Structure 1
Amino acid sequence: MSKKFEETVFEYNKTIQRGELILVEYTSSEPIHLVVYLLLRYLKKENIPFIIIDIADQLHVLKAHLKFAGINTKLIDEAQVIKLGGAITTGSVLERISLTLEPSVMKNEFVKILKQLAEKHDYFVRIGLGTEKLIKLLSEDPATLEAFFGSMVRPLLGYEKSTGVVFMNTGIIREDIVQEAEEIASRVFEVKLEEGEITFRVVKSINFNEHGKTLSIKAQELQEYFASVE
């Protein structure tokens, strides 16, 4: 069952176009480490280069949860990482960017790394973890928050050298900010854990016939499958 579920997700991922911005919403109750690991397995299988944007050590938290579940963390250990804030080195860190910088300076540092990756790869995927922590920090100043969306989020929508997948804990940021992010994203998925099942629901898609569709699997079954395949 888990293998079939994984294959279904992998086939769907192939429909995502270059330049899209994918938003994955969850709360603190969901085992998001399993969802991130599922994405990493897909990228490895398809030989797609990727970079993880690790905000405030969220990657360390996800890696720890995977280890507790008995899942091999080699995919994370070998991943290229840009760290925004935080102090714990997880993966192969290419650059560290302070969260105290102005959005324009932060953008320049971030874009510099993306350009280097674009020179090395025809196409790569950006995976944003802990985005809600940065947004929560910036939301104290509406002008600074808008500068963040205007300089680091909207410009990358449609950038065909790369696709962005942003994981966001919507339980700790304001609803209006969530809606702003949903408006920008080309696809939005909601992850829920209910009665032991992880359910993926399509909130938004460029393919309108997908709206509201769901895909579910037992969380324990998926965790045990991941622990057995590596």
Structure 2
Amino acid sequence: MIAFTADQPLHVLCVGAHPDDIEIGCGGTLLTLAACASTTFTAIVMTGDEVREKESRLALDLLAPGVTAHFAHLDDGRLPACWSEVKQALEDLARTCRPDVVLAPRRDDAHQDHALLGGLVGTVWRDAVVLHYEVAKWDGDMGSPTTYVALTDDVARRKVEVLDACFDSQLGRDWWDDEVFLGLMRLRGVECRSRYAEAFYCSKLLLGLAP
């Protein structure tokens, strides 16, 4: 278990390929961390037009109050073709952003944009705890997580409320469904003996143990 106390300063960086990735993948975790006054947030999203950026900024402000958000406005679905631009955007941010925890897409995510980011974040922020969030999708690429954040009923439902209230452009999509969002959190909750949870994948973790 990784435990953070309420009075311990914590800087969290959220990385998303698209507007709504962060909110779907770890919105409940952001709400939980935001309850600690000492937590600060930074976010970077690689794609999205002005409409999608506005939606994401609104949602991020509700989930992670005070967040500093950056948008690169690269082409949706084409990030592998923009490898250099993606890497540069991350490196530019890293000059001033030194997070304790990075929340990013999975390296083995079936969406090519997600997978690219998931592989790059660990090469840019080598000293942070990198947790890779999951996003349910048509591709059926769900796996076996290694790390969980337990969520209260109120937090899980608040996350879904924020998603529905902020992302008008996505409401008509067949995968945008409260049952999907709550169902996945409920399943991950069962796996960690909680009512709800969000799950993450971690490939490397350094434990600082006192002698």
TM-score, length basis structure 1: 0.41
Q: Which has the higher strand share?
A: 1
Q: Which structure carries more relative contact order (alpha carbon 8 Å, separation 6+)? A: 1
Q: Which has the higher helix share?
A: 1
